[in-house]
Structure 1
């Protein structure tokens, strides 16, 4: 598969992984390998799907620096075929490759200043709505099911949800607003259906 080069010293045996999957999975299983190595698990899933017409899916996790050049590359070659007659070995199928960026929240709970504000905004809106944030460059993140979402954040300043800011809000049925501090009374919060979330305490951790 890699021009007869030994690029990985201890790959899992393909036949063994394939047999394990035959015994332990059904045609619609999702297989997780959190130590993906050379990608044998994905190879076995693709081969088994080709053999029995299954629709198994795989999730591979690999933290070493060969994840793209070896692990993902092997999966590509298995899908497209390899060897003297690649059409005979091709399994078909597809996969997506993702590389993790810097962590959003540091161990002390504070926001990681290496992460761009837009990435933080996107994360918060998705964690709240499971939708993509389409609004750029403002506190307003978007509206979903009548709820307007705001993220009031400045890197080197304390942000405050107060009456002055309240006057700037677009009209909505209710609001979820992230800021450092809220000085509005409970009565005001109830009147305008506002849920206040403190930065960074109330940012969801996944």
Structure 2
């Protein structure tokens, strides 16, 4: 913390009750600070007597404790995680690895990414420690799904892969990150890095999610290089999904849709290319993935069953749902589907179709045909628009 006089903090949670003077990184006078803490004043005074030091590193005056070497763990609040490597009580995971600090995390990120591209990353050792605490049926869980809703530099994904490499687990991760830009446009339309995004921008990353994806790729490669006995089924890959809005033209076509006249052949409008995002997903794949999410199924289209009804290609979940998305459905397809349902070659609880791809008469014929099936073979017909 810089030398000088301070009358207030930059964090509303910490209130300076009197001016404090800092010289050579140490307060010259008494520091009187008010803030909410799990420790009582009595506990703080007791810690000071034992040799615990309290550190302030910035003008927000957030307090960090540096414990004395004779600290006994059961005297400390349970919420505290010791990360001082010089402390004999430093937290270790079940693999006997110490839990690091933000400083360790910064060095870790620089070594992996070759540049400092992210501020205040979390150490993988901390995330690994937390994940390793997950218990299922009185045993450590090796098949958990870990969700990080603020992925940032994807430390969590890195930690999950490291744990899988160490204990042969099959944990999965879900990283969620807004495509937060690392730059702003000035009045001339030129890109200028934001204050927090300058390092990433200078390194060539236009948004935070780009850092997330590159971190996962590099971390997976490093794990493969440093674990010669890695299990053959180690999965260092990931699938990338985006949440985007259709363009205005597609929305206007949908608003004016009249099924009695002509179809909206707009399935391709939802392809990666037409949505102007990276990737090679077709419009059908985009709609299908969206519906799988809505219906609570695995997002992997490759795991779906494929069906052919008189030349019409469809996807489905066996004995559960059939998805009809593309146009081209008419009488021959209805007959083929009804025949396979009626003869018990196929069974679905529901048939979900993309209403814009079906003419009114074809839809009516399908509805009437389903009603004529044996009650045990009748799927629900769900129309989505």
TM-score (norm 2): 0.34
**Cα distance in 1, alignment partners of residues 121 and 364 from structure 2:** 59
Matched, 1:7 2:113: no
Deviation at 1:102, TM superposition (A): 1.5
Q: Which residue of 2 aligns with 1:81?
A: 222
Q: Does the Cα contact within 8 Å between 2:178 and 2:208 map onto a contact in 1?
A: yes
The verdict on how the C-alpha distance between 1:67 and 1:150 changes in structure 2, with shifts beyond 3 A counting, is same
Q: Secondary structure at the residue paired with 1:58? A: strand
Q: Does the Cα contact within 8 Å between 1:48 and 1:54 map onto a contact in 2?
A: yes
**Cα distance in 2, alignment partners of residues 167 and 198 from structure 1:** 10
**Cα distance in 1, alignment partners of residues 221 and 347 from structure 2:** 43
Structure with greater contact order relative to length (CA < 8 Å, sep ≥ 6): 1
Aligned residues: 167
Matched, 1:61 2:176: yes
Q: Which residue of 2 aligns with 1:174?
A: 370
Deviation at 1:88, TM superposition (A): 1.4
Deviation at 1:70, TM superposition (A): 0.6
Deviation at 1:42, TM superposition (A): 0.5
Cα deviation digits, residues 74-122 of structure 1 (max 9, x gap): 101111128xxx7116975222112223269xxxxxx944888325874
**Cα distance in 2, alignment partners of residues 172 and 28 from structure 1:** 45
The verdict on how the C-alpha distance between 1:15 and 1:70 changes in structure 2, with shifts beyond 3 A counting, is same
Q: Does the Cα contact within 8 Å between 1:139 and 1:151 map onto a contact in 2?
A: no
Q: Does the Cα contact within 8 Å between 2:143 and 2:170 map onto a contact in 1?
A: yes
The verdict on how the C-alpha distance between 1:134 and 1:37 changes in structure 2, with shifts beyond 3 A counting, is same
Matched, 1:95 2:246: no
**Cα distance in 1, alignment partners of residues 161 and 132 from structure 2:** 12
Q: Which residue of 1 aligns with 2:201?
A: none
Q: Does the Cα contact within 8 Å between 1:125 and 1:132 map onto a contact in 2?
A: no
Q: Which runs of 5+ in 1 are unaligned?
A: 105-110, 176-192, 201-206
Q: Secondary structure at the residue paired with 1:31? A: strand
The verdict on how the C-alpha distance between 1:87 and 1:150 changes in structure 2, with shifts beyond 3 A counting, is closer
The verdict on how the C-alpha distance between 1:149 and 1:173 changes in structure 2, with shifts beyond 3 A counting, is farther
Q: Which has the larger radius of gyration?
A: 2
The verdict on how the C-alpha distance between 1:194 and 1:169 changes in structure 2, with shifts beyond 3 A counting, is farther
